[in-house]
Structure 1
Amino acid sequence: MAPINATGSTTRASLEALHRYAGASAPDSVFLDDMQHRIDAARPTATHRDGPLRILLLGYAGAGNTGADLRAIETIRQLRRLFGERAHLSLLALGERFDHPVLAEVPKRVPDFPYLPDALDAAIRDSDVVINMEGSTYTSRFSDSLAGALIGGVALAAAHGRLGIAYGVDSGSQSAALLSFVRCNAKLGHVIARNEAARHELLALGVACEAGADTAWTYRVEHDALAGDGILP
C-alpha cells in the first residue's frame, strides 16, 4: 500500500490495517512490519518547488511528556533562528496537549489516514525535510510502535528522496524485533546522537551517526512567561 490521497478505498484499507494492528497478539511487531513494507515500497520523487522549505517534525510532543515537549520547543526555536520565514514547520503530533505557546502556534499536520504508517507516508510526500526530534528513539523502553514511527519516519523520508534527520537522539535496550528493524534501515537518514554513549551504541548497530547534544540542554524559560505565571515579579 502506498497511499497518496485519502480516497475512500485507501482510507478503508488504512482502517483495516489499523484494526489488524490493534487486534494482533503482537501489535508492535505488526507495526514494524507495516512500516518496513512502506519503506521498501517507497521510491524517490522530485521535490523541487517554489516557496518555503517544508519541514515535518516528528516526536512525542503533545502527549504531556515534559522532556519530549522541551526538546520539541528547543528544536523549533533553533529551526526558526536558522531559517526564519524560509521554512514552514508542521508537527505530526502524538497528542493534543500544547500548553506552551511555541508548541501551540506550530501548525499541526492532520493525519490523512487512520493508521499511523499510512499517515506518515502521506505527510512525508508533502514535505521536503523530516526531522525526528524525540530523544528516546532507539529504545524499546516505551513501545516498539513509537520507536518504529520515529525511526521509520526518518527512513521512509530517505526512501522517498527527502532529507530525513534524527536530531539529538538516544539509544537504549531494544527488543529483537526493533534491533532487526534498526539494522535493516541503518543506512537511511542522517542521525545525530545526543551523547557519546548513544553514538557508540548506534555505530555498533551499523547506524552511521554524528556526535551531538541533547537539545533540552539549551532550553531557557523566557522571563515574560514566568512573570505571566506569577513566578517572577
Structure 2
Amino acid sequence: MELAVRERLLAAETGPDVQALKNAYELMKSASDGQSALDSSDNISGDLYVLCAEQALQLGYLEISSDCLQMYFKGRFPVNQFLGRAYLCQGQLHAPRSTENLDDFEKFVLFFMKAIDFATHDRRYFFLIYNASVLYWQLVRPFLKPGFRYCLIPSLSQIVTALNQIEERDNEWRAELMINLLECFLDASQLEEAKVFSSTAAVFIKENVPDKYSQIFSLMVINGYGNSLHFLHVLNLGNKKIKTNVVKAEIGK
C-alpha cells in the first residue's frame, strides 16, 4: 500500500493531479481506520501523511490537509524532520487573511514557534528554521501596516534569535528581518527596546551587510526616536570590532 500511496502523491505533485491526491488520501484514510483490504500489518509511514498534507495544502484542499495532519499526530512515528514540517503545515492552515483574524494568527504563530523550537535542537533540522522564517514573512503581510506591527514582536523576535543562534549564512535575510523587527518596536512605541535592539542589529549589519546599515539609522532618526550620537557610538563599536579582528588575523599569520 505504501508504494501505491507514494506513486499517487508523486503524480499529484508532478501533475498537479487532484484525483491522484484524493486517491492517496483515501488509501491512507482506510489504513488509518483499519479498513484496508490489504494486510493489516501494511502500515503507512509517517512521512506520507505529512507529504499528503503539504500537497493538499498546495492544491487548496485544506480539509484533506488537516485530516492528514490529525492522522499523523495520532500515530507514533519517529521524531524526524517531518514533525517540524507537520507543525509548519498546521500553522499554514491557520494563516491569517486579515488583521481581524487574531485567533487564527495566534494558532499560526503557535505552530510555527513549535517548528522552530523543535528544529533548534538538532543541526540536521536547521533548514526548517530558515524555511519557517520565509513562510512566516510571506503570511504575516496583513500585519505589516501601522498599528498592527506590534503583533509581530514576540514571534519575529524568536525567529531573529533562532536565525542568530544557528548562525544562518544568509546574512541579507537576517538583516532584513532585523530591520523589520526594529520597525515593529517603533510602531509599538517601545523606544527603549528599539534602542537596545538597534545597537545589536547595527553592529551585525555593518559587519555583514553594510549596504543596509543606513536603513537603521534612517528609521531611528526619521521617527525621532534616535540621535546621531547613539549611532556614532554603535558605529565606533563596529569599527573597533572589525579592527580587532584584523589584528587577530595578522597575529595569526
Name the TM-score, length of structure 1 as normaliser. 0.29
Which one has the bigger strand percentage?
A: 1
Name the TM-score, length of structure 2 as normaliser. 0.27
Which one has the bigger helix percentage?
A: 2
| Higher RCO (CA < 8 A, seq sep 6+) | 1
- The structure number with the bigger radius of gyration is 2
